[in-house]
Amino acid sequence: MADTNERQNKSTLKKTRQTRKPTKETKNITDISKKKTSSRKPRKNKKVTEEVRFKKSPLKIIPLGGLLEIGKNITVFEYEDEIIIVDCGLAFPTEDMLGVDLVVADMSYLEKNKNKIKGLFVTHGHEDHIGGIPYLLRQVNVPIYGTKFTLGLIRNKLEEHRLLKSTTLYEVEQGTTIDAGKMKVEFIRTSHSIPDAVGFAIYTPVGIVMHTGDFKIDYTPIDGQKIDFGRLAEIGEKGVLLLMSDSTNAERKGFTKSESTIGEVFDELFMHCRKRIIVATFASNVHRVQQIIDASYENGRKVAICGRSMVKMIETACELGYMNIPKNTLIDIDLINKYADEKLTIITTGSQGEPMSALTRMAAGDHKKVEITPNDLVIISANPIPGNEKFVTKVIDDLMQIGAEVVYSSLADVHVSGHGCQEEQKLMLSLVKPKYFMPVHGEYRQLIAHAETAEKLGIPHENIFIMKNGKVLEIGEKEAKITGTVQAGKVMVDGLGIGDVGNIVLKDRQHLSQDGLIIIVLAMDAATGEIVSGPEIISRGFVYVRESENLMEEMKEIIREELSKLEENHVTDWAVIKLTIKDTLKDFLAKKNRRNPMVLPIILEV
């Protein structure tokens, strides 16, 4: 493939670091695509009597997650008999998913086509882009391509799931192009709220597809790694067939502030504070954590880390060289009582008010090592993810009731987004200049807002595709259209169970949580079918038995009457008996107190 960017021809993949003997986990690739198209002109004397033109197959783009929702981003690019995957994330359960730990995409399509898959390419290390990888690898063993920090986080995740030794990871430098068969993938540096984020230029036989990943335009990033405007413009000049662009902040006008502005706010908050400072933020926002540590060090404070994910993230960032912590700044969380409040900062997880997170347990007075007092300044350096607002509000209220001072985004600029607003999205569209446009990474209203922005910049309405998970977009050299649907949806993970909790189970859980449970126990003679004992009634979540003895007796009497009728009619089929008891009791309770508990009859054979 022709490429004017000389740096790509010189790029190589680095072998990922190992602290033990090499396993199948890593490989070193030096054979990056270096082919150049021939510059020779056809011979003028040769007469061309007939031109045979073969129509190229269309490129199929199939989002399996990440559209009309926030989370579980995963997109399939399929050309003829080859597939590459971009990202494989998870989503967090909604309120109606009782007991569910996390949600991943339905990957049945990939399992059916596993022999076609050439690799998984990852844009960055956030959970909504890498959290589903262990669940994909249990179905399909594919090589994974990512940047240094992204692979560091993936490696940690695979170690937890005991999948590291059987997985091949390729570390890719920004600016490198990877040959994936009939498609090639170029890693392009972008800016986001996590180090080493990239977008992809995917070179296919029908044209170039640009996938931005999550991005913002940060002119003064903490690590100095600015988005590669030059390369984006070069690719735009070549001619981009399709742009797939981050839509998270598509409804917000203007620009997203630089991450570096947060450091100034922290400096001001820390400078004259005589209280203990507790800062809650996303563990993955390494640059935010670095600024908190810097502000603490400059004001003579020791720093303690609270929360397993925060500890692991900082360890990984330091090991890979993405954080610089001054010597003797960090202390163990067990030693915080040995330091005066004005000499201490605690960095913790729980900025989203998650029920079991460290900050939530502190606010509830349940944390074993940190007790909130009126001499605490708590800074929540994050905005609530949609759906988490009431959890965050509850934590803030609990902290204030204890007497702590709480600073959050509504009171001070202690958070900036990692996603670009409308003006940044316009800049991306203007640089790339695509023929077709697909907004991604957002709920429906955000995709629509992004589509409207694209129309304002001159992209025809008919060239903009608002897709749904599972829909197939086919793009050829001359046209693009939605042609069909593949299996897609949500797979719920509950404990060690994957996919064994479905809609029926969730409905039962909702029913139990809202109306409670009544268990009817009977004993039946195996020979005659006669009821010899019972009914006994057990209530859970419906009424307290001791305070509702009259109701319990009424229910028993009704069940006895129904059993007598069944016995008179010589009905001995257990299924019929159970159904009759269930329906009779539900009708009675609906009339008696307008409640609808789950009724579970149990017949014991004696």
Cα separation, 62 vs 85, in Å, equals: 10
The residues that bridge with 145 in the sheet, in sequence order, are 121, 170
Choose the catalytic residue: 106, 246, 294, 494.
246
Element (H, E) at 235: helix 229-238
Q: Choose among 305, 384, 393: nearest CA to 352.
A: 384
> What region does 59 belong to: left with phi over 0, alpha with psi -120 to 50, or beta?
beta
Q: Any residues with CB less than 8 A from the CB of 58 and at least 6 apart, and which?
A: 206, 474, 475, 476
Active-site annotation holds for 218: no
Round to whole Å and give the CA distance between 368 and 302: 20
Distances from the Cα of 190 to the Cα of 110, 176, 195, 533, 563, angstroms? 28, 14, 9, 72, 72
Closest among 200, 197, 181, 188 to 242, alpha carbons compared: 200
Q: Catalytic residue, from 126, 419, 441, 450: name it.
A: 419
Using DSSP's 3-state secondary structure scheme, residue 437 falls into strand
Alpha helices, H only, 412-498: 422-432, 444-456
What one-character DSSP code corresponds to residue 65?
Answer: E
Active site residue 246: yes
Angle in degrees, 0-180, between the axes of helices 260-271 and 286-298, rounded to the nearest 10: 30
Rg value, the chain, Cα = 30
Alpha-carbon distance 419 to 102, whole Å?
A: 23
Name the CA dihedral angle for 359, 361, 364, 370, rounded to a multiple of 10 degrees: -80
CB 405 within 8 A of CB 303: no
- What the block records as the tokens of 227 is 């988005």
Spatial separation of the C-alpha atoms in residues 220 and 308, rounded to whole Å? 30
Nearest to 224 by CA among 253, 250, 260, 251: 260
Q: List phi, psi (to 5°) of 339.
A: -120, 145
Reported in sequence order, the residue ranges of 514-593 that DSSP labels E, i.e. its strands, are: 517-524, 531-540
**Residues 6 or more apart from 536 whose CB is under 8 A from it?**
520, 521, 522
What is the tally of helices (H) and strands (E) in the chain? 16, 27
For residue 139, with 0-12 CB atoms within 10 Å meaning exposed, 13-18 middle and 19 or more buried, which class applies?
A: middle
Catalytic residues: 246, 419
